[in-house]
Structure 1
Amino acid sequence: MCRVVDLQQAVLAKNDDCAQRLRAELAARGTVVVNLLSSPGSGKTALLEQELVLARERGVPVAALTADLATENDAVRLARSGVPVKQVLTDGLCHLEAGMLGRHLEGWLPAGTRLLFVENVGNLVCPASYDLGETLRVALASVTEGEDKPLKYPTAFGLAQLVVVTKTDIAAAVGFDEAAFRANVQQVNPGVEVLLTSARGGAGLGALLDRALAVGAGAPAHRPVMAMTPHAHEHEGGHSHSHSHSHDHVHGPGPSRTHSHRPSASPVPAVPGGLAQPRS
């Protein structure tokens, strides 16, 4: 006789637990973590490079970790800023997880780092469901992607504490409707702040840095109510599952969520907990 096992929260429960521990340890070290989510080609690497340069010029101890399925191209670009940078190759995994982030920070994150920017895998589906222990979650979209992006990816934009529009220097050329984009953002994430930026033209540069520093100094994080959104994705280890999420939010770090899951395979293995102090 088959035994029925309740896997309702098995898939993300371990990740969320690890994320909470990681968040607490990084907060104790005075490190603000900014999780950047976007689709491929949004221009987040170009924008992040400029923000890192500004941070270094202002004397803000900053570091960046960038994740991709293959190549170290983004790390090479970000390293031009002169700040500590690390590349994470996910070997096909479509998102970062809290345990993965913790393992890569262990022994690498410089002591005294005030800001850590995490450039997540270019994907607006899977990364949206994973709390990395971040202090600030940012969803980015370029003017070339269409005004309906927030409606197509309501989890990514609905859980964001800040929305950033990139490549505004070509907004007129591509017919970007700013009012329509803002309205769509507000539909899935009422009250969230929207920043307009251009890495090439210079518009809005430094605003992301300022927001991250403000949150680190105690500014409240916007937490809207998010509707149930189903999706499917693959986990580290090769298995996949589909699930839907209903999200409840609070002012404070880290997504507060309730989950409804229907895994098609066994749950992900346990992720490690603590983040060790940097080696001297």
Structure 2
Amino acid sequence: MTKIIELNEDLIKNNDRLAVQNQRDLNDFNIKSFDVVGAIGAGKTAILELLAEELSKHFQILVINGDVATRIDADRIEKHGVKTIQVNTGRECALNSYHISQVIKNIDLNEYENGLVFIENVGNLICPSDFILGADKRIVVVSITEGPWVIKKHPLLFKFSDITVINKIDLLDVIEVDLEEMVQDAKTINPNIKVVKTSAITKEGISELIDSLKLEK
């Protein structure tokens, strides 16, 4: 048992070291990067579509899409005029810093100088907690359809995230959820986290989310 724990610790340490290098590589070209995590169906892709549509007016954007299989989400986002790269993880339940380092090695970062990189992680609220990627900020997307306790049940992910998006607020009339209690749950876990309430359908909250990225146009 001790040996397994040591191997896991080495895995995390190696991942973290590579993540630091990823961040340096991107920062050398003044590229701002964001790790977007959340469960399947929370609305990560829909939110990224809206961000791509608006931010591509001002920035060169690359979106790295992580999924077990297919490039369905990447194709959706690419329709908004931004470059996407698909990473299929197979049996792995989250992206890790090695995946991102391989993408960085195989693209010309000059094309994205002063631009943005969004990393859409595999749909999961558990596995991504262990693996930082080297992004400047982590955004965790949840939706009210996941139930009122989704934030409480996954404290580690929120503890180490910078922005929480509570999505699908257009459904509040039909789903009995105390939205402010969800906000408070996030703030209790991480007092410094920024909470943005959004609807990818009505676009409510998208401008606030963009402001929270603190970008210089």
Determine if the alignment matches structure 1 residue 19 to structure 2 residue 36: no
Q: 1:36 to 1:48 in 2, by over 3 A?
A: same
Letter in 2 for 1:144: T
Instruction: Please identify, of 166-175 and 6-15, the stretch whose mean Cα deviation from structure 2 is larger.
Output: 6-15
Unaligned 5+ runs, structure 2? none
Distance 1:33 1:19 in 2: 12
Letter in 1 for 2:54: L
Aligned equivalent of 1:198: 199
Determine if the alignment matches structure 1 residue 135 to structure 2 residue 136: yes
Letter in 1 for 2:138: R
Determine if the alignment matches structure 1 residue 40 to structure 2 residue 40: yes
Aligned equivalent of 2:185: 184
**1:37–1:128 CA contact under 8 A, matched in 2:** no
Q: 1:168 to 1:6 in 2, by over 3 A?
A: closer
Superposition deviation, residue 9 in structure 1? 2.9
Which secondary structure state, in structure 2, belongs to the residue aligned with residue 174 of structure 1?
coil
The CA deviation string for residues 238-262 of structure 1, in whole angstroms up to 9 with x for no partner, is xxxxxxxxxxxxxxxxxxxxxxxxx
**1:147–1:184 CA contact under 8 A, matched in 2:** no
Distance 2:48 2:60 in 1: 15
Q: Report 1:210-249 matches (<5 A).
A: 210-212=211-213, 214=214
**2:162–2:192 CA contact under 8 A, matched in 1:** no
**2:26–2:109 CA contact under 8 A, matched in 1:** no
After the TM superposition, which parts of structure 1 deviate over 4 Å for at least 4 consecutive aligned residues?
none
**2:29–2:109 CA contact under 8 A, matched in 1:** no
Which entry has the higher C-alpha Rg, 1 or 2?
1
Superposition deviation, residue 180 in structure 1? 1.2
Superposition deviation, residue 169 in structure 1? 1.0
Distance 1:156 1:5 in 2: 23
Aligned equivalent of 1:265: none
Identity of matched residues, %? 27
Aligned equivalent of 1:170: 171
Instruction: Please identify, of 4-13 and 164-173, the stretch whose mean Cα deviation from structure 2 is larger.
Output: 4-13
Unaligned 5+ runs, structure 1? 218-280
Aligned equivalent of 1:53: 53
Distance 2:56 2:116 in 1: 11
**1:163–1:195 CA contact under 8 A, matched in 2:** yes
Superposition deviation, residue 128 in structure 1? 1.3
Aligned equivalent of 1:154: 155
TM-score (norm 1): 0.71
Superposition deviation, residue 6 in structure 1? 8.2
**1:69–1:94 CA contact under 8 A, matched in 2:** yes
Distance 2:207 2:67 in 1: 25
Which secondary structure state, in structure 2, belongs to the residue aligned with residue 51 of structure 1?
helix
Distance 1:31 1:191 in 2: 24
Distance 1:64 1:209 in 2: 16
Aligned equivalent of 2:100: 101
Superposition deviation, residue 111 in structure 1? 2.2
Which secondary structure state, in structure 2, belongs to the residue aligned with residue 201 of structure 1?
coil
Distance 2:206 2:184 in 1: 23
Distance 2:146 2:66 in 1: 21
Q: Give RMSD over aligned pairs.
A: 1.9
Answer 1 or 2: which has greater helix percent: 2
Count of equivalent residues: 212
Superposition deviation, residue 109 in structure 1? 5.2
Distance 1:68 1:5 in 2: 27
Which secondary structure state, in structure 2, belongs to the residue aligned with residue 65 of structure 1?
strand
Superposition deviation, residue 5 in structure 1? 9.6
Q: 1:5 to 1:191 in 2, by over 3 A?
A: closer
